[in-house]
Every structure is written in structure tokens, then in C-alpha cells.
């Protein structure tokens, strides 16, 4: 178990290193530079002074080693677009906001989606099933900016119940959460339905029926327990994405989350910001997956054994 965990942690560090290296060279290879992105009228004299200050006039590999050295000492650097603010500070204040909205909408979307999925599977091919499936199909295909604009218009202009944009009390959470839960709700409803249908067809359900188990017992003890496992695996991936936030939702509702920086930092050629956010998101993603893997392997020894066998063969 310990060996397995250590191996996974080792892999994780390698992945982080590779991702950061690739990102570093990619962002520096995009044409343009931070000062041009900021103000195109800056004359050459000023540009030269600026580039020298941040070391951008040096060869890329030197900049790379400097950056990695800085990173190992735990420093993500300062934002170029927002002078006076460090990347770590921005991430520290923005990521929890994105995670809050993402977390609440994922929790509601997941629970409601799973319940609807089971309900649909239990009413297979009846009107309840059809309605849920059509609505969830619309939910998964409707682009989030359309949902956001519609929700914003109807619940803040047409019926002025909630604030149009901004951040502060709980009332500012409602609209973004509504927009963000549509996707997990629809996705998990469809996933859970097919998972339940899959399990219903298994031999052990037939066995349970033959043994005379009650319907309630079959559903709770046999169907749900087994159908739930694939959904849980998917949930890990969903959780790992919540700190990144949503660019569109955060833009439409003017939310001070991390999602906005993810895209704007690239447009602004804010190198340290792009890299800093990437480091954090990658680490969080890998960490979540790693934790899930270790937990599952602790519960289910088959995974550990299969992994060892696979290595032996190769």
C-alpha cells in the first residue's frame, strides 16, 4: 500500500513538472508580449526598459531556469497585468470564490441528477422517463452563455428578484449557481439512468428476485449500491475542476473568481499569472485523482494487484 502510494506521488510530481515546462514554453511562444497587450502605443524606449526589468530580454532557457528556481522556493511571482499583486495572492482570494460557486452547484446538481436518474430508470419508457431525458438532453446541449443570459434577464430584469451582477451576500450566489448546476444535473441524470439500467440487467438482480427479496431491498441494497460506483468515479473528475471556475459565468455575473483570470491572463500575456494558475489547477487536479485512486485501491485490492501485474508484463 505504501509502495503504491509513493509510486503514485512520484508520478504526480513528474506530471506537474512536464505540464509546467510545456506551459512555460507555450505561453512564451505566443506572439506578442505583456506590454503590447497592455498598451500598443508604448514606444520602443519604454518597452526596452520594461522588458529589461522583468528579464524578458534574456534567452528563453535562462528565463525558464529562473522561473523554475523561483517556483521551487514556493514563489509564483507577481502579476504583470496587475502590478503590486502577487499571483499567489490573487489565486488565494479568487479560487475559494470559484470553488464556492462550483461546489454548491456540483453538490445540488449531483444529488438532484442522481435522484432524477434513478427515478427515470425506474419509470423506463414512461412519460416521466421521457420528460427527464428530453430536459437533460437540452441541459447538456445548451451553451452556458445562453443559459446565463436567459437566467440573468428573467430573474434580474423581467422579475427583478436577484442582483444582475456583483458579489457579496448569499443573494449574489443564486443566479450563478442556477446556471452552473444545469450541466452536472443533466449529465448525472443521464449517467445514473444508464448505470441503473445496466445493473438491473445483471444476473445477481435476477438471483435476488428469485430468492424473494423485496423490491425495496433490491433497489437500495443491490441496484443503487452498484450503480452508484461509476457516478462516484466521475464525481472525482468534476470536483477536481471546480477551483478553475467558469470564465463565462464569472464574466456575465462579474464574480471575482479564478475563471476570469484563466482566459484574460492569456490575452494579457500575463506570463506569471498563466503559469501560476496552471500550476495550481494541475496540482489540484492530480491531487484529487491521486487521493481517489489511493482510496479506491485501499477499498478494492483488485486495483492494486492489477496494476502490479500490468507492470510485471510490461
Interaction residues for another protein, span 225-264 (CB under 8 A): 247, 250-256, 260, 262-264
CB 217 within 8 A of CB 283: no
Residues 26-45 that bind another protein (CB under 8 A): 26-27, 30-33, 35-43, 45
**Should residue 82 be labelled a site residue for another protein when binding is judged by CB under 8 A?**
yes
- Min separation Cβ 179 and another protein, Å: 12
CA angle centred on 272, ends 78 and 59, rounded to 5°: 115
C-alpha cell at 131: 420528460
What is the C-alpha to C-alpha distance for residues 159 and 154, in angstroms, rounded to an integer? 6
Q: Which of 48, 51, 216, 39 is nearest to 122 (CA)?
A: 216
Candidates 98, 152, 187, 195; binder of another protein (CB under 8 A) is: 152
Task: Return the axis-axis angle of helices 271-299 and 301-313, rounded to nearest 10°.
Answer: 110
Residues 90-149 that bind another protein (CB under 8 A): 90, 93-94, 149
Candidates 59, 74, 83, 212; binder of another protein (CB under 8 A) is: 83
**Should residue 160 be labelled a site residue for another protein when binding is judged by CB under 8 A?**
yes
Q: Please work out the total of residues on this chain that contact another protein, with binding judged by CB under 8 A.
A: 75
**Should residue 271 be labelled a site residue for another protein when binding is judged by CB under 8 A?**
no
**Should residue 203 be labelled a site residue for another protein when binding is judged by CB under 8 A?**
no
CB 20 within 8 A of CB 275: yes
Task: For another protein, give the closer residue by CB, 46 or 137.
Answer: 46
Binding mask 162-191 for another protein (x = CB under 8 A): -xxxxxx-----------------------
**Should residue 222 be labelled a site residue for another protein when binding is judged by CB under 8 A?**
no
Neighbouring C-alpha atoms within 13 Å toward the C-beta of 77: 22
Binding mask 10-29 for another protein (x = CB under 8 A): -xx--xx-xxx-xx--xx--
Q: Which of 165, 125, 163, 127 is nearest to 252 (CA)?
A: 165
Torsion sign (Cα): 172, 174, 175, 176: positive
CB 148 within 8 A of CB 252: yes
Q: Which of 263, 248, 262, 259 is nearest to 152 (CA)?
A: 248
**Should residue 288 be labelled a site residue for another protein when binding is judged by CB under 8 A?**
no
Q: Which of 177, 200, 191, 178 is nearest to 132 (CA)?
A: 191
Task: For another protein, give the closer residue by CB, 3 or 53.
Answer: 53
- Min separation Cβ 137 and another protein, Å: 25
- Min separation Cβ 250 and another protein, Å: 8
**Should residue 64 be labelled a site residue for another protein when binding is judged by CB under 8 A?**
no
Amino acid at each position: 500500500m505504501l509502495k503504491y502510494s509513493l509510486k503514485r506521488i512520484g508520478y504526480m510530481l513528474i506530471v506537474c513538472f512536464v505540464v509546467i515546462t510545456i506551459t512555460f514554453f507555450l505561453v512564451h511562444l505566443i506572439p506578442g508580449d505583456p506590454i503590447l497587450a497592455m498598451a500598443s502605443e508604448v514606444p520602443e524606449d519604454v518597452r526596452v526598459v520594461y522588458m529589461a526589468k522583468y528579464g524578458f530580454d534574456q534567452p528563453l532557457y535562462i528565463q525558464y531556469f529562473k522561473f523554475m528556481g523561483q517556483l521551487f522556493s514556493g514563489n509564483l511571482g507577481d502579476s504583470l497585468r496587475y502590478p503590486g499583486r502577487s499571483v499567489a495572492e490573487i489565486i488565494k482570494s479568487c479560487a475559494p470564490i470559484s470553488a464556492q460557486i462550483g461546489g454548491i452547484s456540483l453538490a445540488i446538481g449531483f444529488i438532484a441528477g442522481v435522484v432524477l436518474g434513478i427515478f427515470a430508470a425506474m419509470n423506463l419508457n414512461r412519460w416521466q422517463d421521457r420528460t427527464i431525458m428530453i430536459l437533460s438532453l437540452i441541459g447538456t446541449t445548451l451553451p452556458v452563455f445562453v443559459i446565463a443570459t436567459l437566467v440573468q434577464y428573467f430573474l434580474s430584469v423581467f422579475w427583478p428578484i436577484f442582483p444582475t451582477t456583483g458579489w457579496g451576500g448569499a443573494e449574489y450566489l443564486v443566479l450563478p449557481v442556477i446556471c452552473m448546476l444545469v450541466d452536472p444535473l443533466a449529465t448525472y441524470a443521464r449517467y445514473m439512468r444508464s448505470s441503473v439500467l445496466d445493473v438491473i440487467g445483471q444476473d445477481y438482480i435476477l438471483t435476488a428476485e428469485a430468492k424473494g427479496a423485496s423490491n425495496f431491498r433490491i433497489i437500495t441494497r443491490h441496484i443503487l449500491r452498484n450503480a452508484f460506483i461509476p457516478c462516484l468515479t466521475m464525481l472525482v473528475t468534476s470536483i477536481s475542476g471546480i477551483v478553475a471556475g467558469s470564465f463565462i459565468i464569472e464574466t456575465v455575473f462579474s464574480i471575482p473568481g479564478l475563471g476570469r483570470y484563466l482566459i484574460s491572463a492569456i490575452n494579457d500575456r500575463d506570463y506569471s499569472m498563466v503559469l501560476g494558475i496552471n500550476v495550481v489547477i494541475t496540482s489540484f487536479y492530480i491531487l484529487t485523482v491521486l487521493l481517489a485512486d489511493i482510496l479506491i485501491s485501499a477499498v478494492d485490492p483488485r486495483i492494486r494487484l492489477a496494476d502490479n501485474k500490468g507492470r510485471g508484463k510490461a
